[in-house]
Amino acid sequence: LSILQPFFQFWEVISDEHGIKPDGTYHGESDLQLERINVYYNEAHGGDAVEINVAEPKWRLSGGKYVPRAVLVDLEPGTMDSVRSGPYGQLFRPDNYVFGQSGAGNNWAKGHYTEGAELVDNVLDVVRKEAEGCDCLQGFQLTHSLGGGTGSGMGTLLISKIREEYPDRIMSSFSVVPSPKVTHFLKSS
């Protein structure tokens, strides 16, 4: 789960900047917080941002919440279960959790050619849905590990598929490099 820390730290910072609590509700006090909130969030459940004090604009969300425009992917369900039960797990849209059942066993080839290849179309469907909901899609940000099978193998597969489908959009990759001091798999001598 430590590989997901940069991902969650990103969403914690963005949420804090915009006054969004882990449950997706807005609790900020500045109109600036909601001015560009649609860069990273979609509004859910039909809530509308309304001005509640004309003299000093303060905003609140009436009846809705905000959800990140994010797709969470793994080739095994255990990681997603940990994510959902975490402090920000309820922030994300349930339909945007996409996971396989068998994992890639820290194997790039399984993530790229077999297990990942079986799941990539499902991931792209969710990516398409999120992209279609954008007023002006600028690009994609991918946070992934360079170790293991999902982040490295499926990550590179996903980058190439998104590039094929959206060739004129920016692709930013935030890659986490494994530490030689910490390993999650056995080494044989």
Give the chain as a DSSP string: -GGGHHHHHHHHHHHHHHTB-TTS-B----HHHHHTGGGTEEEETT-EEEE--SSS--EEEES-EEEES--EEESSHHHHHHHHHSTTGGGS-GGGEEE-SS--TT-HHIIIIIHHHHHHHHHHHHHHHHHHT-SS--EEEEEEESSTTIIIIIHHHHHHHHHHH-TTSEEEEEEEPPPTT--SS----
Given a cut of 70, is residue 184 above it in pLDDT?
no
147 in a structural domain: yes
The pLDDT value given to residue 24: 93
Mean pLDDT for 80-86 is 85
pTM of the model: 0.81
Check whether residue 120 and residue 54 sit in a common domain: no
Clarify whether residues 85 and 122 are in a common domain: yes
Residue 107 lies in a domain: yes
Report the domain count for the chain.
Answer: 2
Tell me what the mean pLDDT of segment 149-164 comes to.
94
Is it the case that residue 158 has pLDDT exceeding 90? Answer: yes
Domain of residue 33: give its range.
17-67
pLDDT at 1 over 60: no
Note whether 53 and 76 are same-domain residues. no
